[in-house]
Amino acid sequence: MKKKFTEALLNLIAVEDAQEITVGSIDIYRKLKNKVPIRILSSNDDITQIKVGLGKAAFGILETGSIVENEIEYFTRVVSMLSDTYIVLLNRKDLLFSLEDAVSMLSRDISTYISFVTGPSRTADIERVLTIGVHGPKKMYILLTEEEFLNRGQS
Name the residue ranges covered by the structural domains of the chain.
3-145
| 52-63 as b/e: b if 16+ CB within 10 A | bbbbbbbbbbee
What fold is seen in the domain 3-145? Rossmann fold (3.40.50)
Q: How many Cα atoms within 13 Å fall on the side-chain side of residue 100? A: 0
Q: Which residue has the higher pLDDT, 46 or 63?
A: 63
The answer on pLDDT for 141 being more than 90 is yes
The secondary structure of residue 58, as a DSSP letter, is S
Q: Mean pLDDT over residues 10-35, rounded?
A: 90
| Contact criterion met (CB below 8 Å) for 110 and 98 | no
Q: Mean pLDDT over residues 46-70, rounded?
A: 90
pTM: 0.84
| Contact criterion met (CB below 8 Å) for 38 and 21 | yes
Q: Please give the pLDDT value at position 150.
A: 52
| Contact criterion met (CB below 8 Å) for 86 and 140 | yes
Q: Please give the pLDDT value at position 37.
A: 92
- Residue 96, sorted as left (phi over 0), alpha (psi -120 to 50) or beta, turns out to be beta
Q: Which residue has the higher pLDDT, 35 or 150?
A: 35
43 to 23, 26, 71, 136: CA distances (angstroms): 12, 14, 18, 19
